[in-house]
Structure 1
Amino acid sequence: MKHLFRPLALFSALTLLGGCAKLDTAPAVLTAQATAQNAAAAGFPEAFETGSKAAYASATVALASGTWTFDDALLGTASADAKTGSQSARVRNSGTLTMNFDLTAGAGVVTLDHARYGTDAAGTWELWVSTNSGSSFSKVGSTVTSSGTALATASFTVNLAGPVRLQIRKTDGGTNRLNFDNLTVQTYAGTGGGGTTPPATGKKFLFDASHAETAGNADWVLDVDGGAVPRFPTPAQSGITSSTAESYWTAALSSWGVALVKLGDTVENLPAGTAITYGNASNPQDLSNYSVFVVDEPNTLFTASEKTAIVTFVKNGGGLFMISDHDVSDRNNDGYDSPAIWNDLMTNNSVQANPFGYSIALTNISETTTNVLASSSNVVLHGSQGNVSQLKFSNGATITKTSGSQAQPLIWQSSSAQGNANIMCATSTFGTGRVFVITDSSPADDGTGSPGNTVYPGWTEIASHAPLHLNASLWLAKQQ
């Protein structure tokens, strides 16, 4: 069983693939990527969605991360407030936002989204830190100017052992107002040889919601709130404990997301309308800020620049979790289904043709198989999250490996030889990055989706499904 989809498009996937044009030029991309991410500090990201404060007078506010003092500042909910979600911090004059608690694990890299409020003039602000529980503060990094009405991201390298407190100061002194949202804090792992910061265990995972992953009856995201997919699932992931149920969030991939957070990782959605970029410092959700990009059954084609971004992200060390569905599964009736979309990315990109060494076959199978690669050392099949002995497809495609390529098939159809065809999931590498591909969306479906969607519990239907997805996630993030 699986999601029902809308009436089928009239175009064949073969015709669609034949009509795709090659790219003539490639946009500028980064030549290297620091994929290692420090672990998120407890209580962060801080999305300013918890608590309320409607006046500018100084007062304490209980946010998800802890208690803060807002001085000449409030939590803004107006349409003119630049924000992700329903509210953000708004500061005027020489106002401040100050932590009333210590980050005992210190602070590594700190990022903060910022913008000017409505039609107000541009303003300046700074990040200050305290290492003595707020008795005194010192400035970190450069003064930042907020000149646009859309949120931009500022980044600061704090690199201080705990205890650490943060303070955001508006410094221009004018009555113009500034908005702040989505504060992230990475713990500080200390310095190693050569003065570099060694990576901690936690990594950042980005789940795509920008390519119609909720079209039709699909629900392939971490969380849906009021019909919209937020960047940060709500409630805040800082509230997740070892006993938190997957129903903490509402979408078909919530079990997967909650499980990653329990392992110490951080998860986000890439909302509809947000660009997929690599090397764009003005995009707070640029792929260079993440270790793994998860795309579950895309239903619209990637643009030329998006294909370049994704393939280059992998080439420079990123992890790509590719999920397809069966042939002729076009949920939004635009003429393209996920096998065609993935094949287009691999055949028509400006970086390298066939970068991963396989293609998605235009097939539709339903079966439970135990035809698993016999390798006790393969960490995707036998990793920290358990052993994989079988896989169930409820209408999925298959994979064909290019002879001699770097792709490693892991599971095949029941009656198939363990060769280059009839593959149901596989790993591959490209450059310094890693790829995992599975060609049915049902195994990741946790059976609890948005109101009105019909979903099925593939995540728990077969005992191997959760270990397979989690082991693959950790392997992509180079955590095992």
Structure 2
Amino acid sequence: MNKILCKKSLCIFLAVAAVILQLSGISYAANAASGTSYTWNNTIPQKSPSGGSGNGKLVLFDNSHCQTAGAADWVIDGGFSDFADDLVQEGYTVREYRGIDKNGDGAIRYYDDRQPQNVSINEAVITYDGIKDADVFVIAEANRPFTISEYAALKQFVDSGKGIYFISDHYNADRNMNTWDSTEVYNGYNRSSGSSYNMGGEYGDMRNPGSAYSGWLSQNFGLRFRFNAINCKSGVSDVRPSQEAEGITAGVGPILMAAGSTLAITDINKAKGIVYFSSSDSASKWNSAVDSGLYFGGRAEGPYVAISKPSAGKAAFIGDSSPIEDATPKYKRESNGSSKSTYPGWTDPYNASLLSVNIVNWLATPESYVGFDGINHTKGIATPTPMADIEKNTPQAEPWAAPGYDPWNTDTFAYGSYGAPDGPNSTQPPPSTGEGLIISQYIEGSGNNKAIELYNGTQSSVNLSEYSLVQYNNGSSSVTYTLSLSGTLASGAKYVIVNSSASSTLLSKANLTTSSSVMTFNGNDVIALRRNGSNIDIIGQIGYNPGTEWGSGLTSTCDNTLVRKSTVTSGDANGADAFDPSLQWDGYERDTFTYLGSR
């Protein structure tokens, strides 16, 4: 489960309406306090080739714009470590970029620069002087908008002969729920045309212009990211020949798309696609897409991977992080400090590892030509409808959920999350989060044979009064039923909750029998474990009705018993992504109760 998004209903709109003004830019949260130490994570990671094997070139990975928000962890010693390590093998020095230490205290702090008084002190910024020594700048899923000066710095970097690799995701991969995702940040405008996005100050007018040919990315690089959301898990296969793709696609096969976006070529002299959907690809709408998801299909959907040569420098673009990430996240979630789970896309059969290394090699190689002339360098192919009508405004209220913290104020970030006041190396001890409390078994059997088992994998007892079990019924985006818990669960202990009308065999396994409607779930209902009102472990996909079940065969949520794999030690708090029970669960026949209490 490596994606962010859920469908929104009127209920969600009402629940989050109170915070929309703050998140979109009309009124602003309090600035991060200056009295907290923020010293636990001041060492900026760098990886270098051994001995004399280096090529003398530097690749910076941006971490100044919420690249670790929510489930993301796109840092060189976390979820992008495989990517970084392979670049080191190529001879590159790889370093994280966090911003500018303006006050010299060793900590690069973010301050909400939508407030004029914070502009001069915000350190999580991109400046030309800050990145000019790099040969390539990798920006993966920026989840906070760039300022006018940051857009200018990026353009200056490319114009100086350097390269940028833009890695995006599907529309509404708004991982910190601040109403911005990377498709919008890179394009230079929000999908909404609402007046609140005429932000002024450092940001200017960021409303949807309603034209594919407007916006920073299109005007400067000849393309834009679409607002679509597509699955093609067997790989996007129309990989253009190497001679058409400036050598980048040599040896490259089909590329995984697990809820991603495409681009639209708006200037064939500046930009061209190098990986497209073929007529035989199994591209489909991602289940949680906010609109039709897949607009046109085939080549008309636009390229999945594209490149641009607008000036002395270069840029490359891909519409999904899934084939690039690995399964070694570093940071905790900002909302509750729980662990993340990222996907081993770098080693997936349809990975983008060779493609991405080839892209960096191309970006790092200076070439003086400008544009694709159609003679020495194949021109691009214009995307027939570069902005569909549905892309000209947001189809629903934003954000897709309340964040549970203030994404504009780092003082509210949980222990161990990037940018938080405290973490593992600080003198402040970690809070007792109970993140090791997970759903360890799920029984959706015959009749009323319904049961949920909880497991305490923490090193101490857990106060269950802080927890509740909730059900999202039939695709609802808001909680339908709630069961509050009580008592204490010892370290390493299990707690079995059973429908009070279940069979005597199942009832004999119960720690709690209840007639709560939560325990009348069916295979298409989401079950979530909550701590203090925040989801910490979820079965299913919030806001989506799969029909009968998630999964298939024995490893599905209908008429089966699911037992959590023993390798799973932390909950899946992301209820927005596509749910595949086979990733974390083993399946058994209906009314299998023998594993209760056996974890």
Q: TM-score, normalised by structure 2?
A: 0.41
Alignment check: 8 A CA contact 2:221 2:308 kept: yes
User: Of 373, 378, 399, which aligns to 2:263?
Assistant: 399
User: Of 354, 378, 383, which aligns to 1:467?
Assistant: 354
User: Which residue identity is paired with 2:155?
Assistant: V
Name the structure 1 match of 2:96.
Answer: 269
TM superposition shift of 1:413: 1.8
Name the structure 2 match of 1:163.
Answer: none
Unaligned runs of at least 5 residues, structure 1: 21-78, 87-181, 189-199, 224-250, 281-285
* Cα separation, partners in 2 of 1:414 and 1:275, compared to 1, 3 Å: same
Q: How far apart are the structure 2 equivalents of 1:352 and 1:436? A: 12
User: Of 177, 182, 196, which aligns to 1:338?
Assistant: 182
TM superposition shift of 1:217: 1.1
Query: Deviations along 1:101-121, whole A, 9 cap, x unmatched?
Result: xxxxxxxxxxxxxxxxxxxxx
Alignment check: 8 A CA contact 2:278 2:299 kept: no
Query: Deviations along 1:270-324, whole A, 9 cap, x unmatched?
Result: 12634444444xxxxx111111110000100011111110111111211000011
User: Of 157, 161, 176, which aligns to 1:317?
Assistant: 161
Q: How far apart are the structure 1 equivalents of 2:237 and 2:275? A: 8
1:85 paired with 2:38, answer no
- Please give the secondary structure, in 1, of the residue aligned with 2:69: coil
User: Which residue identity is paired with 2:340?
Assistant: N
Alignment check: 8 A CA contact 1:221 1:254 kept: yes
User: Of 363, 374, 384, which aligns to 1:476?
Assistant: 363
Query: Deviations along 1:205-247, whole A, 9 cap, x unmatched?
Result: 1101111111111101112xxxxxxxxxxxxxxxxxxxxxxxx
Alignment check: 8 A CA contact 1:325 1:338 kept: yes
1:358 paired with 2:223, answer yes
TM superposition shift of 1:201: 3.0
Taking the TM superposition and a 5 Å limit, the aligned residue runs for 1:128-143 are none
- Please give the secondary structure, in 2, of the residue aligned with 1:447: coil
Q: How far apart are the structure 2 equivalents of 1:317 and 1:457? A: 33
Q: How far apart are the structure 1 equivalents of 2:6 and 2:76? A: 22
- Please give the secondary structure, in 2, of the residue aligned with 1:459: helix
Alignment check: 8 A CA contact 1:308 1:350 kept: no
* Cα separation, partners in 2 of 1:217 and 1:363, compared to 1, 3 Å: same
* Cα separation, partners in 2 of 1:350 and 1:6, compared to 1, 3 Å: closer
Alignment check: 8 A CA contact 1:372 1:411 kept: yes
1:216 paired with 2:67, answer no
Q: How far apart are the structure 1 equivalents of 2:145 and 2:38? A: 33
Query: Deviations along 1:159-200, whole A, 9 cap, x unmatched?
Result: xxxxxxxxxxxxxxxxxxxxxxx9x99x99xxxxxxxxxxx8
TM superposition shift of 1:430: 1.9
User: Which residue identity is paired with 2:166?
Assistant: M
User: Of 330, 343, 351, which aligns to 1:450?
Assistant: 330
- Please give the secondary structure, in 1, of the residue aligned with 2:224: strand
Alignment check: 8 A CA contact 1:6 1:332 kept: no
TM superposition shift of 1:326: 0.4
Name the structure 2 match of 1:202.
Answer: 56
Alignment check: 8 A CA contact 1:7 1:333 kept: no
* Cα separation, partners in 2 of 1:406 and 1:419, compared to 1, 3 Å: farther
Name the structure 1 match of 2:309.
Answer: 429
- Please give the secondary structure, in 2, of the residue aligned with 1:430: coil
Name the structure 2 match of 1:307.
Answer: 151
TM superposition shift of 1:352: 8.7
1:260 paired with 2:87, answer yes
* Cα separation, partners in 2 of 1:376 and 1:353, compared to 1, 3 Å: closer
User: Which residue identity is paired with 1:2?
Assistant: N
Query: Deviations along 1:358-398, whole A, 9 cap, x unmatched?
Result: 00111000102211113446355444xxx112111000011
Alignment check: 8 A CA contact 2:323 2:351 kept: no
Q: How far apart are the structure 2 equivalents of 1:315 and 1:269? A: 22
Name the structure 2 match of 1:372.
Answer: 239
Identical residues among aligned pairs (%): 30
Query: Deviations along 1:23-82, whole A, 9 cap, x unmatched?
Result: xxxxxxxxxxxxxxxxxxxxxxxxxxxxxxxxxxxxxxxxxxxxxxxxxxxxxxxx999x
Q: How far apart are the structure 2 equivalents of 1:413 and 1:352? A: 22
* Cα separation, partners in 2 of 1:331 and 1:275, compared to 1, 3 Å: closer
User: Which residue identity is paired with 1:369?
Assistant: V
TM superposition shift of 1:422: 2.4
TM superposition shift of 1:464: 4.8
Alignment check: 8 A CA contact 1:380 1:472 kept: no
Taking the TM superposition and a 5 Å limit, the aligned residue runs for 1:286-305 are 286-305=130-149
Alignment check: 8 A CA contact 2:128 2:154 kept: no
User: Which residue identity is paired with 1:308?
Assistant: A
Q: How far apart are the structure 1 equivalents of 2:297 and 2:258? A: 21
- Please give the secondary structure, in 2, of the residue aligned with 1:321: strand
- Please give the secondary structure, in 2, of the residue aligned with 1:312: helix
- Please give the secondary structure, in 1, of the residue aligned with 2:317: strand
Taking the TM superposition and a 5 Å limit, the aligned residue runs for 1:2-401 are 2-4=2-4, 84-85=42-43, 201-223=55-77, 251-271=78-98, 273=109, 274-280=123-129, 286-344=130-188, 354-367=219-232, 368-376=235-243, 378-383=245-250, 387-401=251-265
Alignment check: 8 A CA contact 1:278 1:313 kept: no
* Cα separation, partners in 2 of 1:448 and 1:306, compared to 1, 3 Å: same
- Please give the secondary structure, in 2, of the residue aligned with 1:325: coil
Alignment check: 8 A CA contact 2:4 2:172 kept: no
Name the structure 2 match of 1:109.
Answer: none
TM superposition shift of 1:437: 0.1
TM superposition shift of 1:268: 0.8
CA RMSD of aligned residues (A): 4.1
TM superposition shift of 1:340: 0.9
Count of matched residue positions in the alignment of Structure 1 and Structure 2: 277
The structure with the largest strand share of the pair is 1
TM superposition shift of 1:473: 0.8
Alignment check: 8 A CA contact 1:403 1:420 kept: no
Unaligned runs of at least 5 residues, structure 2: 26-36, 99-107, 110-122, 191-204, 207-213, 280-295, 332-338, 368-599
User: Which residue identity is paired with 2:148?
Assistant: A
Q: How far apart are the structure 2 equivalents of 1:342 and 1:419? A: 22
Alignment check: 8 A CA contact 1:292 1:320 kept: yes
User: Which residue identity is paired with 2:87?
Assistant: L
> Max radius of gyration: which structure?
2
* Cα separation, partners in 2 of 1:464 and 1:455, compared to 1, 3 Å: closer
Moved over 2 A (4+): 1-11, 83-86, 271-280, 345-353, 374-383, 414-422
Q: How far apart are the structure 2 equivalents of 1:324 and 1:352? A: 13
Alignment check: 8 A CA contact 1:325 1:439 kept: yes
